[in-house]
Structure formats: structure tokens, C-alpha cells
Structure 1
Amino acid sequence: MKYIKSIVLGSVCALSLSSMAQAEESPLNGVKLGFGYDQGFGLTGQFGQFNGFIGNDGLAVDYMIVKEKIEAKIPLHWYIAGGAYIDWDDSDEDFGARVPVGIEANFAPGWDAYAQVIPKLEIIENFEFGLDAAIGVRYQF
């Protein structure tokens, strides 16, 4: 499983670098970093169309499939993403696919908060369906 961690972490780095290079062309440009609770408490980041999270219980990387404004006058967006996760919080390591569905609110210049519900399908160790949630705050550079 340590080999899988290395592959996942390497993929996160490669994806973040490639998405930063495309950030100028993307409607989701900029780099956002902050704190949140997803795979335990940890660091969250958004790089172009990729969301990443690394916490004390695991790692998750998602690609934004849809992101739209709820209403033109309110800085509130809804989104759907797809990605993968790895949990290392218990005796075994779980790996699977996830589909976060959430809202993002810009509450101050450069700052946003998000909340999401995450249906997930564990693939390695056990084949089972689960449901998670996440919240966080990020600053855009």
C-alpha cells in the first residue's frame, strides 16, 4: 500500500502542475489554499479545475465537472466533481472513487467557504458504498 500512496501523491503533484499551467485558459483560474475537514482535518487546495485535500486520515483529488452560479447577484456556486480518495485512518488502507456535490460561497474578497456531500465507492479492501461530507475555507492567491 505504500507504493499506492507514492503513486497517488505523485499524481497529485503532476495534476496540480498541469492545471496551474492551464489556469489562464480555465474559467476556474487561480490557486486557492486553506483548511478543511474531509479526510480528517487538513489542507485543501484548488488548482484550476482540480481540488485536492490531504489530511490526517487520507488524501483526495477531484476534477470539477460542473460549476455554475446559483444566482447572478449572489456569489454562490454549486458544483459536481469526480475523483479518487485513499484513507489511511484505520488498520487497513481504503481506496476508491468519489463524486462530491457541493456549494461554494465567496464571503470576502479572495476568500471562499465550501460544503459538500460525497457519495463514494470503496474499491480496494472492500467493495462498498459510503457517504461522506466535507467543509472548508480557502484563500485565492
Structure 2
Amino acid sequence: MKPIALGLLLTLSLTTQAVAKEKTNISAGLAVDQQLSAVLEVDDQYRFTLGNGGTAFDYLFQHGTFDNPDIPVDWYVGAGGWAEWDDDYGVRLPIGLDWAINKQISAYGQVHPEVNFHGGPELQLGGALGVTYSF
């Protein structure tokens, strides 16, 4: 699937999900994921990234906290897909930490093992760092 078509498909699914719910928690920010990227996050569960190098979409299906309430860091695991503008594309498994800096600003860091399907399956390891502001 071409990266532009994948990006449009992901945007449509994200928009549909946001409209279907009555009240959504929307965050926007910047990240280093697909090179320098803009990030849109809905309900702390759907993360769409559009950057200089390509696009990515992650569904964060598992969230957790650490036992110490003084640590404002949560963890998450997700599943997603990515496509680069040079026709590389694949799936990934983001595993990360989310730090609530204050009520509206949070930072995250993740590693994501990924499989690149362009030219045959190839296992890779990627990562991302980002900051988002909740509206």
C-alpha cells in the first residue's frame, strides 16, 4: 500500500473514532519518530504521527502504572503500522513510558520492534520521543 493511501486511511479511521465518542481527550505535539513529526493522540489510545520521513499509527492497547504513587510515569504497549515516503512499510510493537509533566503536558519515549515488508520481511528496531499537549 502506498504511504499516502495508508496515511489517508489512518486519518479517516482516527477521525471516525473521535466523532463516534461523545467526549474525547485530544493531544497534539511534536516527536522524533518518522524523523521530525507532528503527533495527534486521541483518548491516550490512538496515536497518529506524520513526519518528514513518513507516517505511523499506533493503537495503545495496554496501559499500566508503577506501584509507587510518587512516580508520575506510566507504561504502555501497543500495535501499529508505519510507512516511509521511500516506499518502506511495515508493522511495529511500541513499548514505552509516558510521563505526565503536569495536567496538560506529557512526554513519552518508546522502543518499537518492527518488521519492514518492503523487499521481503526484515526485523528492525526503532524508537520515538515526543511531547504532547492535551486540550
Give TM-score, length-normalised by structure 1: 0.86
Q: Cα RMSD over matched residues?
A: 1.8
Q: Which residue of 2 aligns with 1:138?
A: 132
Query: Quick one: distance in 2 between partners of 1:42 and 1:128?
Result: 24
Counterpart-to-counterpart distance in 2, 1:12 and 1:39: 15
Letter in 1 for 2:49: F
Whether contact under 8 Å (1:19, 1:50) holds in the other structure is: no
Query: How much does 1:87 deviate?
Result: 1.4
Assess, with a 3 A threshold, how the Cα gap between structure 1 residues 43 and 109 changes in structure 2: closer, same or farther.
Answer: same
Instruction: Name 2:72's counterpart in structure 1.
Output: 75
Aligned-pair CA distance for 1:24: 4.8
Identity percentage over the alignment? 27
Structure 2 gaps of 5+ residues are none
How much does 1:35 deviate?
0.4
Distance 1:23 1:64 in 2: 17
Deviations 1:69-114 (A, max 9, x none): 22362332100010100012xxx41010000000000012200000
Q: CA deviation at 1:19?
A: 2.4
Alignment match of 1:36 (pick from 22, 31, 34): 31
The number of residue pairs the alignment matches comes to: 133
- What amino acid sits opposite 1:123 in the alignment? F
Which residue in the other structure is 2:14 paired with? 16
Tell me the equivalent position of 2:101.
Answer: 107
SS in 2 for 1:12: helix
Q: What TM-score does the superposition give when structure 2 sets the normalisation length?
A: 0.89
